[in-house]
Amino acid sequence: MRFKGVLFFLFILIAGNTRAEERIELSYEEFQVIIEFQEQGHIIERDSSSYPVKFKRGKAIAFTILTGFLGGHRIYFGTHHRTPIIYSITFGGLGLLPLIDLAHIIFTKDLSRYEHKSQIIMWGK
């Protein structure tokens, strides 16, 4: 139990130190344009080909081992915001979900099928 407390503290410490380096100042008109764009339901997608990710599987495995019971690996995969909350409340389904997730991360050839999933169980259809 003490080990999980230390891991949780390290996770909070690392997560709290990741911030954007510079502030963006917007005028009122620019802010209104952004609000109108969001209200219309437009989704801005990034071109992921311009940002190649190295060691994606290794990072996912590390996140699963260190923060799996809190859903840290699911945050890394860009899941819906409710998933890490449910993982945290249930401690990862009493530790079972992160173990199954770890097996899927290790043995699945294409990890992109787990990205941006809104389901609680990432390997579900």
**What is the reported pLDDT for 95?**
85
**What is the reported pLDDT for 5?**
74
Distances (CA, A) of 114 to 24, 43, 76, 90: 32, 20, 10, 21
**What is the reported pLDDT for 44?**
58
**What is the reported pLDDT for 82?**
85
**What is the reported pLDDT for 7?**
74
101, 84 contact by CB (below 8 A): no
**What is the reported pLDDT for 8?**
76
Structure tokens belonging to residue 104: 């899927």
Q: What share of the chain is helix, strand, coil (3-state, %, to 5)?
A: 65, 0, 35
Block mean pLDDT (10 aa), the chain, length 125? 72 62 76 79 58 73 89 86 87 88 87 81 74
Domain boundaries along the sequence of the chain: 52-125
